[in-house]
Amino acid sequence: MRIDSHVHTFPDRLALAVRAHLGANSNGALLDGPLLADVAASVQARGFDAAWALPYAHRPGVAQGVNEWSALEVTRYPWLLAGATFHPGDANLAELVGRALRELGLRVVKLHCAVGQFSAADPRLAPLWETASALRVPIVIHAGHRSGGATEEDEVDELIPVLSAHPDLPIVLAHSGYPAISRTLELMSRFECLYADLTPVWLSPIPITGASIRRFPGRFLFGSDAPNSPLLPQDAQNHIQALGLTEREEENLLGGTAVALAGLPTAIADSI
Ligand SMILES: [Zn+2]
């Protein structure tokens, strides 16, 4: 079972806005179309059985509509696990979280601190941590919020109070906190519910060693950032091969850990 646990889906208007923004910085290097149907097709074309479909909110007030869309439209593709997103500035965040995670049944959350311009330590996120922890819904978080795609050590540290207060809440640090990777590994040794994904930051693959992955069995996930990555599927393949993992370790990285955290999309689970 191969799962890409970092793929982005948005309603059309937002998908096109994100693409216009990234396209301007990429010299047309993005190969896959940005709309939901394009993303769903490319997951399969790249040889994955399933993917976590992660939206994100660039400002308060966007998440509600995006989450409703995710539950209605993304679930039409049985191999996509529909995700939710939130922004600390959302009005009635507790209600919004309950709607998305309890009523709509969305099973993974993405927070993007860089795009949304907020910190993981924002106290207004408390209702999200509470509910996600109670339901064991994993939260993928891009913790860096100051510059481009980078995450600094103190931005990784902003997760410490959350990890301390919610020892059962699975948090997946996007891009393994690149370039603050050694800080991420330190926190992973302190907090068992901290996971990390190997999603590249634009053209930079995550420089993590096979030894680090071995040190934390079942705690790393594969992510491509499709459709917003200029890297080719072959680049990701080469990166993984160079890690020198055992078959078991590679299975965990490419799907086992994702299944352990969020299960399979229902249609796939039913067909097994
Ligand atoms: Zn991403």
Q: What are the tens digits of pLDDT across the range 31-45?
A: 889 999 999 999 999
Count of CB atoms situated within 10 Å of the CB of 202: 16
Cα of 20 vs centre of ligand 1, distance in Å, is 16
* Structure-block tokens of residue 243: 């890690």
Residue type, 265: P
The Cα 261–Cα 218 span in angstroms is: 10
Task: Please give the pLDDT value at position 164.
Answer: 97
Residue 7 pairs in a beta bridge with 53
Cα of 110 vs centre of ligand 1, distance in Å, is 9
Chain segment 125-166, per-residue pLDDT in tens:
999 999 999 999 999 999 999 877 899 999 999 999 999 999
Task: Please give the pLDDT value at position 202.
Answer: 86
SS3 130: helix
Fold of 3-271: TIM Barrel (3.20.20)
Cα of 229 vs centre of ligand 1, distance in Å, is 8
Task: Please give the pLDDT value at position 265.
Answer: 82
Chain segment 60-99, per-residue pLDDT in tens:
999 999 999 999 999 999 999 999 999 999 999 999 999 9
Cα of 94 vs centre of ligand 1, distance in Å, is 25
Domain ranges of the chain: 3-271
DSSP sequence for 229-258:
--S-HHHHHHHHHHT---HHHHHIIIIIHH
- What is the model's pTM? 0.96
SS3 track for 74-122? HHHCCCEEEEEECCCCCCCHHHHHHHHHHHCCCCEEEEEHHHHCCCCCC
Cα of 55 vs centre of ligand 1, distance in Å, is 9
Cα of 215 vs centre of ligand 1, distance in Å, is 25
Cα of 15 vs centre of ligand 1, distance in Å, is 13
**Residues 228, 22 contacting (CB under 8 angstroms):** yes
Cα of 208 vs centre of ligand 1, distance in Å, is 18
Task: Please give the pLDDT value at position 173.
Answer: 98
Cα of 189 vs centre of ligand 1, distance in Å, is 24
Chain segment 175-189, per-residue pLDDT in tens:
999 999 999 999 999
Count of CB atoms situated within 10 Å of the CB of 189: 10
Kindly list the distances between the CA atom of residue 67 and the CA atoms of 35, 110, 188, in Å, as whole numbers in the listed order: 16, 11, 29
